[in-house]
Chains A and B, each alone.
Chain A
């Protein structure tokens, strides 16, 4: 190793000289101050050629890798020789040129292409432009660079013959001086020509010297004994741990596991839109809201406006009297003969300021306006026109009553109508003509009237105060009438029940029988409502103040009454039988309860959300019902859907007195104290998935409001889409 080192060092010596020499060759214009010194130095280096010098040690270290090619040794020796010669040549050249300069530094140390150009400032131009001039350009200070003397052909020839370095002497075009290429330059050129690495002799693949071995050493690198502090527990750490333990105990600090758990509990959200991450500044930049444009000036703003824009006296006075905010325009249009005469606009600064203020104060925010047509939000309902037939016009007025007509009921064939009035009469009417066929005087106010829904039975129930009258009106088919009477007389003898019946049936005779009375059921309290079962055998009566006997169910064929409820909850308003199944709907003030009569249990409880239920009507299918209430609400329940209202209609302005379904047509009507009957289309579909369609179709006016009461009762014609209504004005009206 040592040997190798030495050799390389000796070689590097040669190299250093080489490099110095090449520096000289390049530098000509540097102001030469230490010329002699350099020469001396050179001499010295010459003399010391081949020695190891301390100063060159570093360089040799650097370059030993480059030059340790043993094969080139001979060449190197040769080179050293040539270098020496060249150095001598150089001195000659220096003597020839006045502008030689020398630097101690290595040329490549601060080599740059700019530095060369400093000598000639003509730039990158074809140098033959200076062919006919004595100078070749200008230096930095503007002085001419005089061309160096060039020998003639003969000199050239002699040079070629004599000078062994001629082959590596080239002329610098910029300065016109000869440059002797160094050994490196030559080898570089040669390398380039041979397409080798431009580095010349540089070793491409250096041998790997493994300074730090990967093998684990058994001995430590240092043998220093361990510090004492590495054996005793740290006081500061102890303090720190103590603090942390305290913090954990106090709950100020969470352990990592706990933190994780907490994180796991929280739902994880992800940014869905990249825009959200954008910071405020860039978003503003991106979503730029341009300032609102100022309105362009019109003819009024012209210096020479058309005369119609100029103010008249009155207009001007008005303008002056107005507040600045009220003014139509903020200036008075004025006419000038020429633009030259237009004075400076006095309120320019003010106007600009206001504009700036506007821009500053105006809220710059993009409002995401929902372009929703308000009509789209309304559910698509069919037009009432397409839902014909429904009653639209008043057709017949049934006149004859002198007081409030409390109740009406149409017979199942639709030929007759029964009505009860506060003048203590019950009248029977022919529907077609409006003719009163029969008038019956009763001893009290008829509260409710109900015609037997079975067409084969000709009976009518009238609730008069505390007695429930079963009447045979004697209208319609004679055979039916007689059959009904004989059926009543041949009552089914039944075993007397264990309990005593809640009330007894009084069979009417003689005069009363001839008038049509068949039975009188005397109740202990006032009866407000009666209703038939669909088959016409059972009927129910309601006494709201009857306590335990509030609801009674009577059977016609056995002439027997029974009490289904020991104690009804709340004040019973009305009861209805389910049209198909053995259910009983009991409406109290706030709730509708549906009882299964067979199982004798409560099936459903409907929340009406009304203050006071006034009336109820059940759809012929039995799964839907409407409820009218004194707080003006009409509520539709779909029993399949929920116990809450399916839909609530608030079309009436006053209390609803009665609601009624049509038995065949998809119609229902509500009568109210505001004197109107509202007819709605209420279609119930067989398809369970389709909800009922409810469309209000017609408001029927006609009844006069008397004593703050409007329409008291309404009922549909059993076969036609006609509705009867009875009012406080003593009339019954038929709408068709």
Chain B
């Protein structure tokens, strides 16, 4: 008798992961069940047939949004009728990232990028550092005369000679060539032209060109050729000291300079071979066409953008800004609500954001509140996981290696979190 009074919801479960598929017949579940109950329900369904006992945690999605509250609350919030049949998708629950390693630097870690089994980090002591994923240091490269602001791998293949570049407060970008076997590094080229600190660099998909944004409001396009061309007419700039390289460093000048921002550029991303997207301190995100060498569109925000990340998987942009919010933008839409959703959980400036390279729903964000957060776009209210460990501001996060989440901050540490797929 009593069970009749408890409201029930007709639910049909489906999944895109075939190893966990269950019959598509609708079930009547109690309205106030949570994810744990549903998860155990699916597990019991899976365990009915064969003798193997599986126990997997599942997450449930209704209309592309994670179920975080009880079922009835969620349906009420979303305005879905409890009378009708509810389709519930379930996926295996994302496992919590585990802290793996902490790499100690001599000074603040300003930028990081991983590549296969190597990690590149820029530091405020004017050096670029190379680490293995396991945490052992390969090299410390002094080359810049001012704190390094950005690093970027050029090659991401398994060849023994790898190239990367670094931008710095000294207004130059250095292209480095690293021979992993002999563990020696050569400065291939120094790119000069910016009149302010180089805050962001990004290489295009063909690995032929890269672009950089600077505090001087300029966006510059450079060649990313790594072959050490013997250049006769090399300019000699008196204020620059080159200690690292024995032989003469090639000086490169930009192919293209684009102006349009009113303030410094904080992040630059390639959208395709001819389009780039920049975010700036002047509260705008601009898209540029490189063939026409002009600005295509501009998205107006309300706060300073500190970082931006573009995902080729879902063609969306996330930005971190000088308030507490992470915003999701669609660069292709020009009217209507520009901001598709706002992710609020940080308590300080969001200094860095990065999309997952493999999962179109996941991204991470690092903030001055010294917490890195893993987000799923389908869960707009709360992040999936908070990764603590830093004692100071996080200045950079990276997810270039799909299995590790990297974060570096003002506490001189670079933290590696293991991410299990």
Q: Could you say which residues of chain A place their CB within 8 Å of the CB of B395?
A: 433
Contact flags (1/0) for A428-447 with B, using CB distance below 8 Å?
00001111010000000000
The answer to whether B108 and A435 have CB atoms under 8 Å apart is: yes
Report the stretch among A157-165, A340-348, A476-484, A504-512 that lies at the interface: A476-484
Number of A residues with CB within 8 Å of any CB on chain B: 23
Q: Could you say which residues of chain B place their CB within 8 Å of the CB of A478?
A: 170-171, 239
> Of A393, A396, A413, which is within 8 A of B215 by CB?
A413
The answer to whether B281 and A719 have CB atoms under 8 Å apart is: yes
The answer to whether A434 and B171 have CB atoms under 8 Å apart is: no
- Which interface residue of A388, A437, A478 has the most chain B CB atoms within 10 A? A478
Q: Could you say which residues of chain B place their CB within 8 Å of the CB of A433?
A: 108, 110, 393, 395, 410
Q: Could you say which residues of chain B place their CB within 8 Å of the CB of A432?
A: 306
Inter-chain CA distance A393–B348, complex, in Å, is: 9
- Residue B147 interfacial (CB < 8 Å): yes
Inter-chain CA distance A432–B281, complex, in Å, is: 11
Contact flags (1/0) for A470-513 with B, using CB distance below 8 Å?
00000011111010000000000000000000000000000000
- Residue B380 interfacial (CB < 8 Å): no
> Of A413, A435, A482, A720, which is within 8 A of B304 by CB?
A720
The answer to whether B264 and A435 have CB atoms under 8 Å apart is: no
CB of B112, distance to nearest CB on chain A (Å): 15
Q: Could you say which residues of chain A place their CB within 8 Å of the CB of B147?
A: 435, 437
- Residue B368 interfacial (CB < 8 Å): yes
The answer to whether A736 and B195 have CB atoms under 8 Å apart is: no
Contact flags (1/0) for B383-421 with A, using CB distance below 8 Å?
000000000010100000000000000100000000000
- Residue B302 interfacial (CB < 8 Å): yes
Contact flags (1/0) for A359-394 with B, using CB distance below 8 Å?
000000000000000000000000000001100010
- Residue B263 interfacial (CB < 8 Å): yes
- Residue A395 interfacial (CB < 8 Å): yes
Contact flags (1/0) for B337-367 with A, using CB distance below 8 Å?
0000000000011000000000000000000
The answer to whether B323 and A719 have CB atoms under 8 Å apart is: no
Inter-chain CA distance A176–B349, complex, in Å, is: 132
The answer to whether A434 and B410 have CB atoms under 8 Å apart is: yes
- Residue A415 interfacial (CB < 8 Å): yes
The answer to whether B124 and A736 have CB atoms under 8 Å apart is: no
Q: Which residue of A lies closest to B392 (CB)?
A: A434
Inter-chain CA distance A413–B393, complex, in Å, is: 23
Question: Chain B contact residues (Cβ within 8 angstroms of A): what range?
Answer: 20 to 34
Inter-chain CA distance A477–B264, complex, in Å, is: 13
> Of A389, A395, A479, A722, which is within 8 A of B368 by CB?
A395
- Residue B319 interfacial (CB < 8 Å): no
CB of A543, distance to nearest CB on chain B (Å): 37
Inter-chain CA distance A435–B108, complex, in Å, is: 9
Inter-chain CA distance A72–B108, complex, in Å, is: 152
CB of B157, distance to nearest CB on chain A (Å): 33
Inter-chain CA distance A437–B303, complex, in Å, is: 25
- Residue B34 interfacial (CB < 8 Å): no
Q: Could you say which residues of chain B place their CB within 8 Å of the CB of A415?
A: 196-197, 215, 264
Q: Which residue of B lies closest to A479 (CB)?
A: B195
Inter-chain CA distance A478–B171, complex, in Å, is: 8
Inter-chain CA distance A483–B410, complex, in Å, is: 33
Q: Could you say which residues of chain A place their CB within 8 Å of the CB of B171?
A: 477-478
Q: Could you say which residues of chain A place their CB within 8 Å of the CB of B287?
A: none
Q: Could you say which residues of chain A place their CB within 8 Å of the CB of B264?
A: 415
- Residue B152 interfacial (CB < 8 Å): no
The answer to whether A435 and B124 have CB atoms under 8 Å apart is: yes
Q: Could you say which residues of chain B place their CB within 8 Å of the CB of A396?
A: 349, 368, 393
Q: Could you say which residues of chain B place their CB within 8 Å of the CB of A482?
A: 239
Q: Could you say which residues of chain A place their CB within 8 Å of the CB of B368?
A: 395-396
Inter-chain CA distance A572–B94, complex, in Å, is: 67
Q: Could you say which residues of chain A place their CB within 8 Å of the CB of B309?
A: none
Inter-chain CA distance A478–B194, complex, in Å, is: 10
- Residue B322 interfacial (CB < 8 Å): yes
Q: Could you say which residues of chain A place their CB within 8 Å of the CB of B302?
A: 388-389
- Residue B216 interfacial (CB < 8 Å): yes
Q: Could you say which residues of chain A place their CB within 8 Å of the CB of B197?
A: 415
Contact flags (1/0) for B152-175 with A, using CB distance below 8 Å?
000000000000000000110000
The answer to whether B196 and A736 have CB atoms under 8 Å apart is: no
8 A Cβ contacts from A679-736 to B:
719-720, 722, 736
Known contacts: A433-B108, A477-B171, A719-B281. The answer to whether A395 contacts B393 by CB under 8 A is no
The answer to whether B195 and A477 have CB atoms under 8 Å apart is: yes
Contact flags (1/0) for B235-250 with A, using CB distance below 8 Å?
0000100000000000
Inter-chain CA distance A138–B303, complex, in Å, is: 122
Inter-chain CA distance A388–B302, complex, in Å, is: 10
Contact flags (1/0) for A188-216 with B, using CB distance below 8 Å?
00000000000000000000000000000
Q: Could you say which residues of chain A place their CB within 8 Å of the CB of B348?
A: 395
Q: Which residue of A lies closest to B348 (CB)?
A: A395
Inter-chain CA distance A418–B368, complex, in Å, is: 22
Contact flags (1/0) for A411-425 with B, using CB distance below 8 Å?
001110000000000
Q: Could you say which residues of chain A place their CB within 8 Å of the CB of B281?
A: 414, 719-720
Q: Could you say which residues of chain B place their CB within 8 Å of the CB of A435?
A: 108, 124, 147, 410
Inter-chain CA distance A396–B195, complex, in Å, is: 26
Q: Could you say which residues of chain A place their CB within 8 Å of the CB of B239?
A: 478, 482
Inter-chain CA distance A477–B323, complex, in Å, is: 28
Known contacts: A477-B216, A719-B281. The answer to whether A736 contacts B170 by CB under 8 A is no
Q: Could you say which residues of chain B place their CB within 8 Å of the CB of A413?
A: 196, 215
- Which interface residue of A389, A414, A720 has the most chain B CB atoms within 10 A? A720
Inter-chain CA distance A649–B216, complex, in Å, is: 40
Inter-chain CA distance A422–B216, complex, in Å, is: 34
The answer to whether B322 and A434 have CB atoms under 8 Å apart is: no
The answer to whether A736 and B215 have CB atoms under 8 Å apart is: no
8 A Cβ contacts from A257-296 to B:
none
Q: Which residue of B lies closest to A415 (CB)?
A: B215
Q: Which residue of A lies closest to B110 (CB)?
A: A433
8 A Cβ contacts from B224-279 to A:
239, 263-264
> Of B196, B263, B304, which is within 8 A of A477 by CB?
B196
The answer to whether A395 and B349 have CB atoms under 8 Å apart is: yes
Inter-chain CA distance A432–B393, complex, in Å, is: 11
The answer to whether A476 and B410 have CB atoms under 8 Å apart is: no
CB of A489, distance to nearest CB on chain B (Å): 16
Q: Which residue of A lies closest to B347 (CB)?
A: A393
The answer to whether B349 and A476 have CB atoms under 8 Å apart is: no
Q: Could you say which residues of chain A place their CB within 8 Å of the CB of B323?
A: 393, 736
Q: Could you say which residues of chain B place their CB within 8 Å of the CB of A388?
A: 302
Q: Which residue of B lies closest to A396 (CB)?
A: B368
The answer to whether B216 and A395 have CB atoms under 8 Å apart is: no
CB of B228, distance to nearest CB on chain A (Å): 25
> Of A389, A395, A719, which is within 8 A of B263 by CB?
A719
CB of A412, distance to nearest CB on chain B (Å): 13
Q: Could you say which residues of chain A place their CB within 8 Å of the CB of B195?
A: 477, 479-480
CB of A377, distance to nearest CB on chain B (Å): 35
The answer to whether B393 and A434 have CB atoms under 8 Å apart is: yes
Q: Could you say which residues of chain A place their CB within 8 Å of the CB of B124?
A: 435
- 27 chain-A/chain-B pairs, Cβ below 8 angstroms: A388-B302, A389-B302, A389-B303, A393-B323, A393-B324, A395-B348, A395-B349, A396-B349, A396-B368, A413-B215, A414-B281, A415-B196, A433-B110, A433-B393, A434-B393, A477-B171, A477-B195, A477-B196, A477-B216, A478-B239, A479-B195, A719-B263, A720-B281, A720-B304, A722-B322, A736-B322, A736-B323
Chain A residues with a Cβ under 8 A of chain B: 388-389, 393, 395-396, 413-415, 432-435, 437, 476-480, 482, 719-720, 722, 736
Q: Given A435-B147, A477-B196, 7 more contacts at CB 8 Å?
A: A389-B302, A389-B303, A395-B322, A395-B348, A478-B239, A482-B239, A720-B322
